[in-house]
Structure 1
């Protein structure tokens, strides 16, 4: 019996005024894996992510999540199904504390749109779960620090915590280690490995060291098409992949 496919695309295509950014992509992400989407600049990775999370609508093709056609759904509806995206640029409330940021994520999951106006006692019910998530991402000592004061790598960890507050089955990470130094990269890579223990992760990532250490399967895009697919050894030894990366500093 084969592995369960949690996310699938069929002939996924996106055109912008005659330019084909994503061209007939057939993607299958297996449940419980870390699946990396890589490729040189302009390969169509972020456009593909935007299609999967419904921030863009495809020109043609279909997207399925747990066998359900989600092609025509809105972003919020897809998120409610359990597909949650963490953005390339850190997306937290800068003047709220770490604890308050994670608590907002928990409020969203509960569906309490007006909890901002409720008593402190109502909001405090989320504190235990929020602190648990904060501990999971290594931010316990930062719980009462405003997000704006966090170092960049810690801010990305906070973003992952707020994403986890929505209790996703599938986590989409858009360049989670972008702009980081070695210490932060190692910390975030370890965090991704930890949070993937009971969920599926699809990530766009430029750092091939991170990709090689974390990914069970890799899809290589170039010019909007799938160039190669497989584990790191398979794709890294593919002559076409090596040629696509020539001159990008990753060959």
Structure 2
């Protein structure tokens, strides 16, 4: 493995996905450097979500290869990829609405401990997880809501809880699908600060419509259009690229 390859946590070559003859992603080559924030942006229908689905193995590529930490994961199933340390946070909050905030995080923590879904265990047997539960809730600003029912939280706080449950899995690579979508200004700032803090010791790939957040957080940006890479670079580089400006005419994303 070359030094350049060792510096990359994800390497994608010739990635293509066709649906009934239509190429949603077409011949994409992409490298993601370790401990960086890499943003995917582009107009509606650019192929961003399909690309996420491909590298997390929700979809199988029609062509191309995907390497994670130097290993070829092209033909692996989603569960195996997740166990390698690649975890995705979806646009829609994925929580247990009838459980408390703390219980949601505790369930997520059980998975790395090898005691996933052991709902029947007594509280005392799971108390060893409480310190980490409190750490994660404090990290996302939910420590004062630990005993509240998750389903009753405001939307922005549900997203913060989802973030905490994702971090509980201790991912090496965290994929964020529209992390600030639907959030008010205060919650956007909270999530942006959280993304910045957790990026210090892990890699983040995010699809994000809010370009001001992309400008503040992303070390590198890939612009997709019609399933292909249109431009790549820093925010200052891609935001002044005439091809990118043309692609965004008629609507921001």
Measured in 2, the distance between the counterparts of 1:249 and 1:78 equals 33
TM-score by length of 2: 0.96
Match of 1:220 in 2: 223
Equivalent of 1:53, from 53, 56, 62? 56
SS in 2 for 1:234: helix
Match of 2:46 in 1: 43
Match of 2:154 in 1: 151
SS in 1 for 2:200: helix
Give deviations 1:192-238, integer Å, cap 9, x for gaps: 10111110000000000000000000000000000000000000000
When the two structures are aligned, how many residues end up with a matched partner?
Answer: 250
SS in 1 for 2:199: helix
Conserved in 1, the CA contact under 8 Å of 2:107 and 2:117?
Answer: no
Conserved in 2, the CA contact under 8 Å of 1:9 and 1:63?
Answer: yes
Moved segments of 4+, more than 4 Å: none
Match of 1:195 in 2: 198
Measured in 2, the distance between the counterparts of 1:129 and 1:249 equals 39
Conserved in 1, the CA contact under 8 Å of 2:177 and 2:206?
Answer: yes
5+ unaligned residues in a row in structure 2: which ranges?
Answer: none
The answer to whether 1:11 aligns with 2:14 is: yes
TM-score by length of 1: 0.97
Measured in 2, the distance between the counterparts of 1:76 and 1:121 equals 30
The alignment yields a C-alpha RMSD, in angstroms, of 1.1
Conserved in 2, the CA contact under 8 Å of 1:38 and 1:220?
Answer: yes
Measured in 1, the distance between the counterparts of 2:172 and 2:26 equals 27
